[in-house]
């Protein structure tokens, strides 16, 4: 029967994928991505496994100099406070009117000290500044200088529990996305409030934008307002990447 044939074929492909993953990972005990085994998400497994094998633990992406900074288009949502946009947020509009003085980031989930942070609270952490290349899935790249607090500092401050495996992010324009602990603790993964020496502007995600430098641009979520530490994979449902046809792991 046709359906049987399809199921068999699918199983065969999944099995095939398993052995490719095994091959890539043999000789080291690194993990596979949580999307592993989903035939439509094969790319995740290849890039994830390749990264784990090829890049030593905390290897940094290339950082550039001031002379390399380029023009930087704003794409996707460029102002959640605009009533004419698809993902208008009245709350964001109010916060923007008050220059984000009342803005708070909520950090919760598998942490011993959940809490909220103002922009000034985040600025009191030791900052990191880096000039990196943003690579958009649509084919353009741009270089900018980012300033912010390493996500690892905030996670240390709230005390992530040993069972924590993923960090989920939520935004005012209703995005939901996550990264694993490896990317979360990476020294270049930042919660940024500054761009090219100025306060992060609204089109680029004010007041707080994630930078995940080892992955494509869409993992660097703008307008972040909530962070949840989890012990299981969460694809973000209809607000996440997978159900919108985008890969969860997009290493570059
Ligand atoms: N919240 C949110 N984050 C987002 C987006 C978005 O539309 N909303 N677009 C993503 C994509 S596809 C890219 S390329 C970059 C664009 O960032 P920029 O507008 O600063 O160029 O943000 C990413 N993060
Ligand atoms: Mo993008």
> DSSP string covering 64-86, please?
--GGG-------S-S-TT-TTST
**Domain boundaries along the sequence of the chain:** 1-59, 61-244
Ligand minimally distant from the alpha carbon of residue 79: 1
222 CB within 6 A, ligand 1: yes
Which pLDDT does position 245 carry in this prediction?
Answer: 87
Which pLDDT does position 40 carry in this prediction?
Answer: 73
Main-chain phi, psi angles of 224, to 5 degrees: -65, 135
Radius of gyration (C-alpha) of the chain in whole angstroms: 19
- From atom 23 of ligand 1, which residue's Cα is the shortest distance away? 218
What is the whole-number distance in angstroms between the Cα of residue 219 and the centre of ligand 2?
A: 9
- From atom 10 of ligand 1, which residue's Cα is the shortest distance away? 218
Q: Around ion ligand 2, which residues have CB less than 5 A away?
A: 136-137, 217-218
Which pLDDT does position 242 carry in this prediction?
Answer: 85
The owner of tokens 């649509």 is 138
What is the whole-number distance in angstroms between the Cα of residue 205 and the centre of ligand 1?
A: 8
- From atom 2 of ligand 1, which residue's Cα is the shortest distance away? 222
Residues of the chain with pLDDT > 70, as a percent, come to 85
Which pLDDT does position 27 carry in this prediction?
Answer: 42
Q: Give the angle subtended at the CA of 183 by the CAs of 190 and 134, to the nearest 5°.
A: 55
76 CB within 6 A, ligand 1: yes
Which pLDDT does position 243 carry in this prediction?
Answer: 82
220 CB within 6 A, ligand 1: yes
Which pLDDT does position 48 carry in this prediction?
Answer: 78
Q: Given its phi and psi angles, is residue 76 left (phi above 0), alpha (psi -120 to 50 degrees) or beta?
A: left
Residues of the chain with pLDDT under 50: 1-29
Task: Please report the atom of ligand 1 found closest to the CA of residue 134.
Answer: 14
Whole-number Å distance between alpha carbons of 21 and 224: 33
Which pLDDT does position 26 carry in this prediction?
Answer: 45
What is the whole-number distance in angstroms between the Cα of residue 137 and the centre of ligand 2?
A: 5
Which pLDDT does position 82 carry in this prediction?
Answer: 98
What is the whole-number distance in angstroms between the Cα of residue 44 and the centre of ligand 2?
A: 17
Which pLDDT does position 49 carry in this prediction?
Answer: 72
Which pLDDT does position 34 carry in this prediction?
Answer: 86
Long-range contacts formed by 54-60: CB under 8 A, 24+ apart: 55/214, 58/186, 58/187, 60/187, 60/188, 60/213
Q: Hey, which CATH number is domain 61-244, 3.40.220.10, 1.10.287.110, 3.90.420.10, 3.10.310.30? A: 3.90.420.10
């Amino acid at each position: 029967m046709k359906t049987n044939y399809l199921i068999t074929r699918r199983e065969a492909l999944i099995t095939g994928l398993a052995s490719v993953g095994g091959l890539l990972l043999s000789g080291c005990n690194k993990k596979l991505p949580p999307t592993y085994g989903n035939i439509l998400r094969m790319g995740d497994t290849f890039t994830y496994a390749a990264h784990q094998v090829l890049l030593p633990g905390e290897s940094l992406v290339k950082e550039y100099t001031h002379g390399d900074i380029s023009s930087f288009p704003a794409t996707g949502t460029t102002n959640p406070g605009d009533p004419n946009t698809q993902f208008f947020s009245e709350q964001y509009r109010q916060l923007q009117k008050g220059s984000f003085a009342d803005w708070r980031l909520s950090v919760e989930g598998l942490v011993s000290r959940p809490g909220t942070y103002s922009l000034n609270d985040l600025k009191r952490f030791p900052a990191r500044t880096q000039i990196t290349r943003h690579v958009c899935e649509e084919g353009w790249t741009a270089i900018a200088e980012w300033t912010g607090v390493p996500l690892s500092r905030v996670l240390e401050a709230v005390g992530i529990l040993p069972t924590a495996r993923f960090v989920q992010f939520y935004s005012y324009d209703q995005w939901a996305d996550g990264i694993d602990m490896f990317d979360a603790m990476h020294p270049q993964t930042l919660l940024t409030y500054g761009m090219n020496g100025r306060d992060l502007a609204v089109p680029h995600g004010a007041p707080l934008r994630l930078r995940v430098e080892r992955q494509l641009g869409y993992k660097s979520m703008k307008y972040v307002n909530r962070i949840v530490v989890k012990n299981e994979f969460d694809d973000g449902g209809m607000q996440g990447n997978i159900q919108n046809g985008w890969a969860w792991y997009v290493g570059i």
